[in-house]
Structure 1
């Protein structure tokens, strides 16, 4: 379980394909605090630490994870949002994030607005995921509030701190991102579909 509050950015140091799996080695300031078997969210995807050394650690993404997320597009040198699992009893500063990506989306527009930014996204509505205005959404592991909501579109407002300390400052129109929709909204949507 995560909160969607990014702790730091990591850097992809090595990518190794093996039998449909992708081993991802990341250099991070968190490395010295990690241990094998620990869960860490990588751009919103919960992965398990399988090995580590003084400066970097490795996680493995299986074929299903690669098919459903943007991790298959990673490149060496790329920055990645990192968050360790939440501690029971700690404050929940973002919202409940499972680290289970529902689908990917694509960045369609970036607008600078008086010291902040509006980012607009589009996603495949056929998967029955929904957003609502003022509801929660997780983009590449970042807990955010929806500003505008359409059938398969939404926008978020990004403050300078979030822009500078997450991958948002690296995004361009066309960037593919991981989306985790609000867990309560997913249950409500499934119940409504079952009744129709």
Structure 2
């Protein structure tokens, strides 16, 4: 059976909920990104710096979703496509930096300093990002918005990514396994490319 189109009143109500969730995720990701980037620069952690840049990218994505569901754009198919492309492109811009920086650190054998701040940050991300992710995926499906559902999938991936980063940071801090940090960054780069590709196509991850 064909799925009936979303009514204008229903879409307006969903848009309000989507904006609230997106604003909440934007605020957290902005804080997370700033703290992670500062900690990554101070300790020389490529993974932590990449995690901060990833948070910045996702905060951009949340901002795009707010833009997408504001004013006349709520029912606009063109705005939906633009939102998908912007979110996808932001992930493609992240990957090259991570790959070059991580390989440079691995080849040079230069260890980074441990960061308990990074460990705590990633641990909080494991808890919060699934909440944002599930909410956006559900609302995106209800509003027939691949951009919103795709960004929700990115938040869920971010939760798994937080676990990967957490493992790498903990191994570095607790046991001095320095190469775990750039390896985590390479995983982050691969995830960024995969997520960006699927979002560009309008597919959930």
Do they fold alike, i.e. is TM over 0.5?
no
Name whichever structure is richer in strand by fraction.
1
Q: Whose Rg is larger?
A: 2
Report the TM range for the smaller structure's normalisation.
under 0.3
Q: Which one has more relative contact order, counting CA pairs under 8 Å at least 6 apart? A: 2
Name whichever structure is richer in helix by fraction.
2
